[in-house]
Amino acid sequence: MKIRIKMLDERAIKPMRATDGAAGADLYMISDGDVYISPGETYLAHTGLSFEIPDGYVGLVYARSGLAVKQGVAPANKVGVIDSDYRGEVMVALFNQSRETRRLENGERIAQIVIAPYLKTEFEYADDLSDTARGENGFGSTGTK
């Protein structure tokens, strides 16, 4: 499958997979220079790209494990959702969950995008739902670990 992308900024970098088996393609930040994110702060990083995601698919923006684990910087909303009808710039709200100010450079890999199919569903009210062994047992009800 080919996903059409539009360069909105000449500095934009085409998403790339690090290996043949990678599900996600890296997204790169564009900026006028180094960006510093203080502990507990969020920075809206630009990619300079917009995507044409086919109907029935969604772009899911996830953290890059290296940046999240080693630097404590990850998407603020945990998983970003890019709908198939959105044609604006893809941006990533990066949150610094560490205790130190973090520096990001122009062209740095900041997140990864996975294109995935989804089911279009309709929701309807019902007086009753089917029974299951779990029933209404919630948080922590399926085990202690």
pLDDT in tens, 102-121: 999 999 999 999 999 999 99
Distance CA 90, CA 9 (A): 12
Residue type, 99: R
Mean per-residue pLDDT, 75-87: 97
Domains of the chain (ranges, CATH numbers): 4-117 (2.70.40.10)
d(CA 63, CA 111): 5
Q: Is the model's pLDDT at 141 over the cut of 90?
A: no
Kindly state the greatest CA–CA separation across the chain.
Answer: 57
Is the whole-model pTM more than 0.85? Answer: yes
| DSSP letter assigned to residue 30 | B
Residue 145's pLDDT is 59
131 phi and psi angles, rounded to 5 deg: -80, 145
Q: Tell me, what's the pLDDT at 109?
A: 96
108: which 2 tokens?
Answer: 């740095």
The pLDDT tens digits of the residues spanning 9-23 come to 999 999 999 999 999
Which amino acid type is present at position 9?
Answer: D
Q: Compute and round to an integer the Cα radius of gyration of the chain.
A: 19
Judge whether 90 and 13 are in contact, CB under 8 Å. Answer: no
Burial class (CB in 10 A: 0-12, 13-18, 19+), 51: buried
Fill in the amino acid letter for 108.
E
